[in-house]
Amino acid sequence: MRPDLIGCGLGQTFLRAGLDFALQQFAPRCFALCVATFDRRAIRVYSRAGFAPCQLFTQTTNGGQYKLIEMIRRADLHAPTVGGVGDLSAIGIQRYALKPTPSQEKPALR
């Protein structure tokens, strides 16, 4: 999204357009994304679109280390459900019961 449009209430529309495109072109079972923990505005947009946090980790990029949250949601989720992603087991995906690797600063979110 163009920086001058951030904060104008277009996040859901922008995200929905990207998800719809990916769904039509690639037919995924789920969507996953990573977002910096300091980007509360983006986390709110993703949460409202049905994404739920599943893992917290530290990534070295752009000359620094940043805490990121991995978020996931079912691809066929048309409306957000209470708790976010819905039942991922129905499409053969465990709700990211990942064990932290030694490079991860904190264990997986619950």
H or E element in which residue 68 lies: strand 64-74
* φ, ψ dihedrals at 26, nearest 5°: -125, -15
pLDDT value, residue 15:
94
Fold of 3-91: Aminopeptidase (3.40.630)
First-to-last C-alpha distance (Å) of the chain: 30
pLDDT value, residue 87:
52
pLDDT 10s digit of each residue in the chain, 110 long?
A: 888 988 898 999 999 999 999 999 999 999 999 999 999 999 999 999 999 999 999 999 889 999 999 999 999 876 444 344 445 555 444 444 434 444 444 444 44
pLDDT value, residue 7:
87
pLDDT value, residue 95:
46
